[in-house]
Amino acid sequence: MIVCSCLVISDAEIERALVEILSQPDAPLPTPGVVYRHLKKKMVCCGCAPLAVSTIYEKVDKLAEEGLACPYACKSVQGQLLERARDTPALRLIESALKRSARWRTVTGRSQAAPA
């Protein structure tokens, strides 16, 4: 899925960047700016920022479930992203992703999040 149409950044690129960012000692909070800089790109219109935050939140959860990142670090990142997303469009996207994830787990009986 394309997250940023200006720079043509996909959710798969964000996921790869998150693996690299979260594996660093003293990893920074992976905000859209941090992730885009890691991809050597610069945000243009910032219209993708809410979707980028939601995608980062979902991908961090996926990486923890797959054992590709420390689950404790991932929960910390998710908490910080939620705190910073308060009263923004990004929070609504994160909340809808959480509802989809919970619904997916209930319907399928699986512990993994709904496919993106």
- Asked if pLDDT for residue 70 goes beyond 60, the answer is yes
Query: What's the structural domain count of the chain?
Result: 1
pLDDT-derived band at 116 (thresholds 50, 70, 90) equals very low
The domain of 19 spans 2-108
Backbone angles phi, psi at 2, to 5 degrees: -80, 125
Residue 10's pLDDT is: 97
**Pairwise CA distance, residues 115 & 113, whole Å:** 6
Q: Is residue 48 in some structural domain?
A: yes
pLDDT-derived band at 115 (thresholds 50, 70, 90) equals very low
Q: Is residue 114 in some structural domain?
A: no
Q: Is residue 94 in some structural domain?
A: yes
Q: Is residue 113 in some structural domain?
A: no
**Pairwise CA distance, residues 18 & 44, whole Å:** 20
Q: Is residue 116 in some structural domain?
A: no
Q: Is residue 59 in some structural domain?
A: yes
